[in-house]
Chains A and B, each alone.
Chain A
C-alpha cells in the first residue's frame, strides 16, 4: 500500500526535471484532478463549511429566524452553564455513551471471539446479530415502544413468566434510561462485533503458534497478544461509536420524548428543542458547539490512551 502511494507521489514530483511533453501531461493531470474533486469540495463547502462557521457565529447571537440575529456576546454560553436541564442532558448522554460504547464494546468483543472459532452456522449467527444495525432506528424504536408497553408488551410478559413484576418502563424515572440504553446496545452491537471479527480474522497466526509453543495460556494470549493487536480496531470502534452515541436522537424521540422529568433527555434532544420548539437558534448553536467540543475531547483522549491509529495508514 505504502509502496503504491510512494510510487504515485514519485511520478507526480519533480516536474522541472521532466521533458516538455511530460510536463504538459502533468499539467493535464493536475487540471483533471482539480476538476474531479471540485463538485465534492463545493458541496462540502456549502453544506459543511458554511454551516460550521455559521454555527460558531450564531452561537454569539440571539436569533429566532423571523427577526435578524442580534449579537449578545457570551450570553448563550453563560446561560448554558446555569441551565440545569442541559446539564442533565450532558449527564444522560454520558451515561448512555458509557453503556452503549465501552460496555457494549466489551460484549461485542466477546461475541466476536466466540464467532472467531471454527463453527457451523457462523454466518447465521453473524447475520442475526448484525440485522438490527441496518434497520431504521425510528422503526425499531416503535417496535421497542410496543415491547415496553406495561400491560400488553413482551418485556413484562417475559418477566411475569419468570415470576417477576415488570416496571412501567418508559414512564418510570428509574427505568426509562435503562430501557433506552437496551435499545442502543441492541442496535449498535452488531457493527462493533463485525469490525472486531474482521480484525480478529486478519491477525497473524504465527504469533499465536509461537505463544503456544512458549506455553502461554489462552487467557494470557488474549491479554498480551490479541488485545494489543486489536488496538487500531478498538480505536476505530470507539471513535465511531462515541460519535454515534453522542448523536442518538431517534430512539429518544420515539420512546420517551426526553421524559419522564428529563430523565432521558440527551444533548441532541435539547438542541432540537431549543431550535425547533423554542426557536432559540443562537442558544441551540451554542449547545451544539458544546456537543462538538466534548466529542473532540473524547476522541483525542482515546487517541492518547490507545496510542491512536498509529498502526493504520
Chain B
C-alpha cells in the first residue's frame, strides 16, 4: 500500500475517533448546560414551544429569587455540615481500623476483615428499615425512656443525620489496601526506637498514605452530599433539611418553577463538579485501587 494512502486512512480513523468521543462527551455535558441556561431564563423563555436554547433575556436575578423562595442556603449549609462530619469521622475511625487490620495481626483480625468485606455486600435497603427503627427507638433521646418508648428518639436530630454514616466498611477496606503496601522495615525501625503502636500509626505510617486519606475524604464527602433517602426518612423540620431533600420537596410544592428549581440543582451539583475537578487524580486513584487490586 502506498504510504500516502495509509496516512489518509490513519487520519480518517483519527477524525472519526475524535468525532465519536466529542459526540459522547457532548451528550454527557448537555444536561448540565441545559440546567445552567434554564436557571437564567425568564418564565416566558421557559414556556416557549419549541424551547429556545439560549435565553432572550439573561435573568441572573433567578438565583436571588430562588434563595428567597426556599431556604436553599440553609439546606446547602446542612449538607455541608453533615458531609464534613462524615468525612472527618470516616477518615479517623476507618483509617485506624484499616491500619490495625493491615499491619497489626491479632486474634480475630482476619475474621473482622471478612466481616467488613461481607458488610460491603449488604444492600442499603436491607439495613435501612431497622436502622430507621433503631433511630426512632433510641433510648433516652427525644423523650424516649430507657426502653426506647414514648418519644421520637433521634428522629429529626443531627444525631440521626451524622452517626449512622460515621464509618463505612468501604473506607475501612480502602485504607487497609493502602496500608498493606507499606514496607515492614519502617515499622520495625520505629518500634526499635521505642515508638508506641499508636505513634507508629499516626507519625510514621499515616503520612505515607496521604493520597489514601484524600481519596477516602473526597469519596465520603461526595457520597454524603449526594445522599437522599436517609435524610428524607429521618428529618421533618425545614431547618434540618439537606439540599437533595430540599430540592425534591421544592419540586412537589412549587410544581413548575423550572428556573428556580434549576438554580437549586446548580447549587447542588456545582460544588461536587468543582471538587471533582480539583481532586480528579484522587477520585480516579480511589476507584482504580478498589477496582484493580
- Nearest-Cβ distance from residue A220 to partner chain B, whole angstroms: 19
CB-CB contacts of B110-136 with A at 8 A, as 1s and 0s? 001001100101111111111111101
Query: Is A313's CB under 8 angstroms from B293's CB?
Result: yes
Instruction: Give the A-B contact count at a CB cut-off of 8 A.
Output: 291
| B251 close to chain A: CB less than 8 A | yes
| B99 close to chain A: CB less than 8 A | yes
Interface stretch, picked from A70-78, A194-202, A209-217, is: A194-202
Query: Is A194's CB under 8 angstroms from B31's CB?
Result: no
Residues of A within 8 A of B46 (CB): 152
| B84 close to chain A: CB less than 8 A | no
Interface residues of A in 50-91 (CB under 8 A from B): 50-52, 54-55, 58, 65
Interface residues of B in 5-57 (CB under 8 A from A): 17-18, 20-22, 24-25, 27-32, 34-35, 38, 46-51
In chain A, what residue has the closest Cβ to B94? Answer: A40
Q: How far is the CA of A11 from the CA of B273 in the complex (A)?
A: 45
| B65 close to chain A: CB less than 8 A | no
| A225 close to chain B: CB less than 8 A | no
| B145 close to chain A: CB less than 8 A | no
Query: Is A65's CB under 8 angstroms from B291's CB?
Result: no
| A153 close to chain B: CB less than 8 A | yes
Q: How far is the CA of A253 from the CA of B248 in the complex (A)?
A: 9
| B80 close to chain A: CB less than 8 A | no
Q: How far is the CA of A288 from the CA of B247 in the complex (A)?
A: 27
Interface residues of B in 218-254 (CB under 8 A from A): 222, 225-226, 228-229, 233, 243-244, 247-248, 251
- Nearest-Cβ distance from residue B179 to partner chain A, whole angstroms: 10
| A20 close to chain B: CB less than 8 A | no
- Nearest-Cβ distance from residue B278 to partner chain A, whole angstroms: 11
Query: Is A295's CB under 8 angstroms from B121's CB?
Result: yes
Q: How far is the CA of A7 from the CA of B104 in the complex (A)?
A: 12
Report which residue of B248, B258, B292 has the largest number of chain A beta carbons within 10 angstroms of its beta carbon: B292
Interface size class of B (residues with CB under 8 A): 35 or more
Q: How far is the CA of A5 from the CA of B177 in the complex (A)?
A: 11
| A268 close to chain B: CB less than 8 A | yes
In chain A, what residue has the closest Cβ to B166? Answer: A43
| B100 close to chain A: CB less than 8 A | yes
| A29 close to chain B: CB less than 8 A | yes
- Nearest-Cβ distance from residue A255 to partner chain B, whole angstroms: 11
Query: Is B130's CB under 8 angstroms from A41's CB?
Result: no
Query: Is A33's CB under 8 angstroms from B184's CB?
Result: no
Query: Is B106's CB under 8 angstroms from A152's CB?
Result: no
Query: Is B48's CB under 8 angstroms from A152's CB?
Result: yes
- When A44-B119, A47-B127 are in contact, do A39 and B167 touch as well, CB less than 8 Å? yes
- When A37-B109, A125-B25 are in contact, do A138 and B198 touch as well, CB less than 8 Å? no
| B290 close to chain A: CB less than 8 A | yes
In chain B, what residue has the closest Cβ to A243? Answer: B123
Query: Is B126's CB under 8 angstroms from A292's CB?
Result: yes
| B64 close to chain A: CB less than 8 A | no
Query: Is B50's CB under 8 angstroms from A33's CB?
Result: no
Q: How far is the CA of A2 from the CA of B249 in the complex (A)?
A: 51
Query: Is B105's CB under 8 angstroms from A140's CB?
Result: no
- Nearest-Cβ distance from residue B220 to partner chain A, whole angstroms: 13
In-complex Cβ contact of A50 among B17, B51, B134, B251 (8 A): B134
Q: How far is the CA of A26 from the CA of B136 in the complex (A)?
A: 43
- State how many residues of chain A have any CB contact under 8 Å with chain B: 102
| A144 close to chain B: CB less than 8 A | yes
- Nearest-Cβ distance from residue B190 to partner chain A, whole angstroms: 12
| B69 close to chain A: CB less than 8 A | no
Residues of B within 8 A of A268 (CB): 125
Query: Is A8's CB under 8 angstroms from B103's CB?
Result: yes
In chain A, what residue has the closest Cβ to B45? Answer: A152
Q: How far is the CA of A132 from the CA of B33 in the complex (A)?
A: 12
In-complex Cβ contact of B276 among A39, A119, A131, A198 (8 A): A131
Query: Is A40's CB under 8 angstroms from B123's CB?
Result: no
- Nearest-Cβ distance from residue B259 to partner chain A, whole angstroms: 10
In-complex Cβ contact of A36 among B32, B100, B167 (8 A): B100
Query: Is A134's CB under 8 angstroms from B104's CB?
Result: no
Query: Is A129's CB under 8 angstroms from B28's CB?
Result: yes
Interface residues of B in 267-293 (CB under 8 A from A): 268-269, 272-273, 275-277, 280, 283-284, 287-288, 290-293
- Nearest-Cβ distance from residue A15 to partner chain B, whole angstroms: 11
- When A44-B119, A152-B49, A288-B125 are in contact, do A142 and B251 touch as well, CB less than 8 Å? yes
| B193 close to chain A: CB less than 8 A | no
Q: How far is the CA of A187 from the CA of B56 in the complex (A)?
A: 30
Query: Is B51's CB under 8 angstroms from A152's CB?
Result: yes
Q: How far is the CA of A75 from the CA of B35 in the complex (A)?
A: 48
- Nearest-Cβ distance from residue A184 to partner chain B, whole angstroms: 13
Query: Is A48's CB under 8 angstroms from B49's CB?
Result: no
Residues of B within 8 A of A142 (CB): 247-248, 251, 261-262, 265
* A–B pairs, 18, beta carbons within 8 Å: A36-B99, A44-B167, A51-B129, A52-B127, A115-B21, A127-B277, A127-B280, A131-B29, A131-B276, A134-B273, A146-B38, A152-B48, A154-B30, A186-B27, A232-B292, A250-B229, A254-B251, A312-B293
Binding site for B on A (CB under 8 A): 1, 4-5, 7-9, 11-12, 25, 28-30, 32-34, 36-37, 39-41, 43-44, 46-48, 50-52, 54-55, 58, 65, 111, 114-115, 117, 119, 124-125, 127-132, 134-140, 142-147, 151-154, 157, 160-161, 186, 190-191, 194-195, 198-199, 202, 232-233, 236-237, 243, 246-247, 249-250, 253-254, 267-268, 271-272, 275-276, 281, 284-285, 288-289, 291-292, 295-296, 299, 312-313
Cβ-closest 9 pairs across A and B: A33-B104, A32-B197, A40-B97, A51-B130, A198-B288, A54-B130, A136-B226, A128-B25, A12-B105
